[in-house]
Each structure stands twice: as C-alpha cells, then as structure tokens.
Amino acid sequence: MAETRYGMAINRALADAMQADASVILFGEDVGAPGGPFAVTRGLQAKFGPERVRDTPISEATIAGAAVGAALGGLKPVVEIMFMDFVTLAMDALVNQAAKAHFMFGGQCSVPMVVRTPHGGGLNAGPQHSQCLEAWFAHVPGLKVVVPSNPADAYALLRTAIADPDPVVFVENKALYSMKGELADAPQPVAIGCASIAQSGSDATIVVYGASVAAALKAAAFLAAEGIAAEVIDLRSIQPWDERAVLESVAKTRRLIIAHEAVTAFGVGAEIAARISELAFGDLAAPVLRVGADFMPIPFARSLERAYLPGEADITAAVRRSLNWKRDTD
C-alpha cells in the first residue's frame, strides 16, 4: 500500500497493462516523449519503446479511427484525447464506428479500445478546455463510460477498461490529477458498472461521480454536523450505471440528489432521476433533485468560473431542500 497521485495511478495502470499484455499500445498527441500534457504517460515510451507508445500528430479523428482499426486488427489500443472538448473531432470514429461495429457486424468482432480523456473545470481553461461531455457518450449504445473519482479506482477501472472487449471512454478529471490516495501493491479489480458507497447514511442519497464525489463528501460532512446522515454513492461508471445500488440506497433514505459538474440539462442526472422515478416512485419522500452546471458555456474569468461550477454548497442546499420538501409544500 502506498500513497499515489491520481495521475500516477493511471500511469501505473498503463504500465502494468502493457507489461501484462503485448497487444496493448498507446497513442495520442504528445503521449510519448513529452509524457502527456498532465504527465500521465511520462516514462512509458522510455520503458516500452516508440513502437508501442506513439506520439501522433494533432489529428483526433484519425487517432480515434485508427484505434478502431487497430482493435479490429488484434491490438488493444489505449488512445488519449488531450482535452475532452476535442472529442468533437473524433465523434465519427467513436459514435459511428467503435460503438456500432460489434452490433452492426452481427457480433463478428469486438472493438477493445480505450479512449482516455480529461474533463472538468477549475483551471480557468475556458469554454473549449473544460467541458464535461460524458453524457454524450452515455447516450450511445455500444460505448461504456467510466469516471473514476480517486487513485485506486482510476487504477482498477483503467485495467478493467483495457481488458474489456468493448470500447470504453475513460474520463479523467484535470482537477483530480494531483489528488493523493492509497493504492494497494496488488489492487483488487473493479467491474465497470459497479458503484461504491463512499459514505453510508440513512437520511438522503447523493449520487455522484468523478470530482463531484469529493464535493459530496464535503457536503455530507457539513450536514453530519447538523445531524443529517447523507449516503454518498460514487457511481464510478455512468454507462452502464449501477441502478441496483441507487435503488437500494433510495429504499433506505427515500431522498435522492444527483450531482455532477456537467450541465444539468439533458445530463446524467436527468437519466438517473427519470429512471428512479419510474422504478421507485413509491419509495420517494421528495422529488429527485439535480445539481449541475447552469445551461451556459464554461466561462473563463476566475469569478465567473467559480460562480458557474457546482460544488459542495449546492449539494448541501439540495439535500436540505429534499429534506424540507414536505414543509415547503404545506
């Protein structure tokens, strides 16, 4: 057991996967010699050579498309899209090709590829370097989407994603790269689609993923001081998402808040809210509430971005609103 940063946990997962399986290769913009813009792939080219760790030109469509072809050709490519905002340039390969090949070709083949890409604000990176676009991919049948919130899960889920026969969008969060956490010497595997209970509680359920997990835990700690026991569920995967874990929690707490950094409208929270309302309406003591970003591009200036990003205060307020629901409607 050692303390590891989130970015280095990903680095170790890549190294261990490449060590274990010669068909795993990496390519993307500046992932080789430069080690990636966030140093996540640092040292891997030196260790595994320039044939397996390749710098590409700035050609997102071809990076993603080549991953599809390489996967069909017997490799397990792990490619990096430098900022999640740049996936717009790679959408054909991901949505029309990778996601559909297994189904569309009648199950003849699988497409074992991973697209690593960082989302998230907090760096004042502006409207085109901060977006959380994971809901787009969760909407496409054939893709899997995981969003780890801590170093141990980042390691385990990346190993699982690389071993998975289907295309996985592995969403990292720029603000988490320096996060420290414990990583076992021999980490246990984590299945895609399996949530974890980040904190147990009986009064309200807060469903989160990625960087929002830390915000939810802070909110839960704040609420605990008032005697409110919030349960925090870290989804870890959003496609598929762990419906059973959320249902079990809601059966206990009767209140559900879903929080994410992405825009609220048409987001992951909307899907979960709809689904839980369909399946567990009778369990709910209050409407399912969502916390997310306002419907606007992520602004640049410090004050604007601070006001824009949803955080612990928004989650705390939503939990209170849920708990106070009956009084509001009297």
Partner 1 sequence: MHSELNQQDLLSLHENMVLIRRSEERLSRLFGDGEVPGFLHLSVGQEAVPVGICAALQAMDTVASTHRGHGHALAKGVDLRGFFAEILGREEGLCRGRGGSIHVADLRVGMLGANGIVGGGLPIALGSALAHQVRRSGGVAVAFFGDGAMAEGVLHECLNLASLWKLPLIFACENNGWSEFSPLNRQFAAQLGALGNAFGIPAAQVDGSDVEAVRAAATRIVALARRGDGPQILECKTFRWRGHYEGDPQKYRDAGDLAEARSRDPLVVSEARIVATGISVDRIRTLEHAVEARIEAAVEAARLGREPDYAAAAADVYTQVAGGAHG
Question: Which backbone phi and psi does 27 adopt, to 5 degrees?
Answer: -150, 155
DSSP state of 36: -
Q: Using the minimum distance from each CB to partner 1, give the nearer residue, 97 or 264.
A: 97
Contacts of 156 (CB under 8 A, 6+ apart): 13, 187, 188, 189, 190
Which 101-120 positions form the footprint of partner 1 (CB under 8 A)?
101-110
Which 11-50 positions form the footprint of partner 1 (CB under 8 A)?
23, 25
Exposure of 129 by Cβ count < 10 A (0-12 exposed, 13-18 middle, 19+ buried)?
Answer: buried
Q: What DSSP element (H or E) covers 4?
A: strand 2-5
Piece of the chain touching partner 1 by CB under 8 A; list 38-46, 70-78, 205-213, 225-233: 70-78
Q: How far apart are CA 115 and CA 96, in angstroms?
A: 15
Piece of the chain touching partner 1 by CB under 8 A; list 37-45, 58-66, 213-221, 312-320: 58-66
Task: Answer yes or no whether residue 187 interacts with partner 1 by CB under 8 A.
Answer: no
Q: CB of residue 202 vs partner 1: minimum separation in angstroms?
A: 23
Task: Answer yes or no whether residue 70 interacts with partner 1 by CB under 8 A.
Answer: yes
Among 37, 39, 56, 122, binds partner 1 (CB under 8 A): 56
Q: Using the minimum distance from each CB to partner 1, give the nearer residue, 111 or 230.
A: 111
**Longest Cα separation, the chain:** 68
List helix spans (H) across the chain: 6-20, 44-48, 60-72, 91, 99-104, 134-138, 151-163, 212-224, 243-253, 268-280, 302-308, 312-323, 325-329
Q: How far apart are CA 319 and CA 330, in angstroms?
A: 18
- Tell me how many residues contact partner 1 (CB under 8 A): 50
Piece of the chain touching partner 1 by CB under 8 A; list 192-200, 207-215, 249-257, 313-321: 192-200
Among 32, 77, 299, 311, binds partner 1 (CB under 8 A): 77
Q: Using the minimum distance from each CB to partner 1, give the nearer residue, 213 or 245.
A: 245
Piece of the chain touching partner 1 by CB under 8 A; list 51-59, 179-187, 254-262, 319-327: 51-59
Q: CB of residue 230 vs partner 1: minimum separation in angstroms?
A: 24
Question: Which residue in the block uniquely carries the two structure tokens 């390519």?
Answer: 27
What are 26's strand-pairing partners? 53, 78
Residues 175 and 212: beta-carbon distance below 8 Å:
no
Q: Using the minimum distance from each CB to partner 1, give the nearer residue, 43 or 73.
A: 73
Task: Answer yes or no whether residue 64 interacts with partner 1 by CB under 8 A.
Answer: yes
Which 211-250 positions form the footprint of partner 1 (CB under 8 A)?
240, 242
Token couple for 154 = 């980042």
Q: How far apart are CA 131 and CA 34, in angstroms?
A: 24
Q: CB of residue 301 vs partner 1: minimum separation in angstroms?
A: 33
Among 11, 97, 205, 322, binds partner 1 (CB under 8 A): 97
Contacts of 56 (CB under 8 A, 6+ apart): 27, 28, 29, 31, 62, 63
Q: How far apart are CA 127 and CA 297, in angstroms?
A: 6
Closest to 7 (Cα-Cα) out of 151, 122, 149, 145:
151
Q: Using the minimum distance from each CB to partner 1, give the nearer residue, 158 or 259.
A: 158
Q: Using the minimum distance from each CB to partner 1, give the nearer residue, 29 or 261.
A: 29
What are the catalytic residues? 60, 129
Local structure of 117: helix, strand or coil: strand
- Per-residue contact flags (x/-) with partner 1 for residues 116 to 155, judged by CB under 8 A: -------------------------xx-x-----------
Residues at the contact surface with partner 1, assessed by CB under 8 A: 23, 25, 51-52, 54, 56-57, 59, 61-62, 64-75, 77, 92-93, 96-97, 101-110, 141-142, 144, 165-166, 189-194, 240, 242
